[in-house]
Structure 1
Amino acid sequence: MSKANHNSGAPWRNFYGRIKGKGLRKSQEAYLEEDLEKLSPGPVGWDVNPDRNPLDLNALFGGREVWLEVGFGGGEHLVHQATIHPEVGIIGAEPYINGVAMLLGKIREAGCDNVRIHPGDARDLFDVLPEGSISRAFLLYPDPWPKKKHHRRRFVTPEHLEPLVKILKPGAIFRVATDIPDYVRQTLEQVPRHGFDWLAERPADWREPWDDWISTRYEQKALREGRTPHYLTFRKR
């Protein structure tokens, strides 16, 4: 899993996703320069928080319930949830800087003040979120890593699910959306093993989106290419 970095005490973690894509527009560079630091959840990285002190979520969100989106892509869903649920605070984790820049633009446009952004690996954020502090988590159209030899890179593996279940409150909801049938298979194998119950009672429960769902650009691409979305809802025991 992780190897210790003897210089910093930080665990060594493989990261396989993209960090940056095509060049950013001037406006996106401005969003990163002007907005990202003030929307940080706090000292997450090992360079600024080597002792892994927990974040003060009460100070961050004024005592509001806290939700988490892992890998928010372009940020459509995260901003939608923040807008229709102003009574909660939402933290988004996304290492792809182009996606972070897109989210920052959407936050400016929407004017929501209940979002914080960790522009990096979600596992580093898991290190500093207090145990039992998150009421709802989202994993929406994660990287499918389709080759069998790469399935261990998927989020629905013990390396990610073990720390995720620790930071979730008892009874917390975990939503997963994917258009990859084998990702559904692995999700249904692994997530219940880590302390979750799958809440589906009928086929429509995983074929139809949630009532507060907004279709993302990833989902629209899947539909154009003939793939079927699946919507899985779990609850922490």
Structure 2
Amino acid sequence: MTTTAAPAGLPPAAPAPTPAAPAGPVTVEAAPGVWVAWARSAAPSTHPADLADVGGRPPWQRRQSLAARGLLRALLAEVRPGAEDVPLAAGPHGRPVLAGLDGVGVSLSHDGADDAAGGDLVAAAVAPGRRVGVDVQLPHGPGPSPGLARRCLRERTADLDRLPAGRRALEFAWVWTVQEACVKADGTGIAGRPWSLDIPVRPRTGTQGDLTWIALRHLSVHPVSCAFGDLRAR
């Protein structure tokens, strides 16, 4: 797993050069004590509990879920040794938790094709002493439909429309990863109505309630975002 040097604090607001696509999994310390890993190809988990959890899912869901869990276990081995073998359990709204380790926040995400062609993008996050959410999204098509754009962006829809046609799908994906990361960190999932969160087009970093969110666009060519907050706030 390739580890990128951690930034001194939150990422700068100024634009940064577009990173190159990595050859394998990348790990960064997105903020102090908040670790995020992502990959286009990750070794699937072979943990018995993980295999049992995904046993009844369609093949493409099993593939993506095991790749994300494998990435999470590799990240745990790197930043929280000893926790990589702890079974995952489902918390409220399906939020993953490490059984018996409530003080270590974890999150998973995956996106990709629903067939054997693969091309998946997976991510994992670990944040000891915090709650955390991570999300990835591969841009699809030319961009969101007008209705979907209005639902997720409201008055910011015009900002998306002003972008070149070839950028709209990518920038919408970045917005969605931030929205999803926030509701994952908050533990509400889809019930938290991620589309209702006010996130700017071309997001970089900000706050949502008591959460801090970061779009890792200064480090990743693929839309990957994380959000985190103090465990004591919940």
Relative to its length, the structure with more strand (as a share) is: 2
Q: Same fold (TM over 0.5)?
A: no
TM-score (norm 2): 0.29
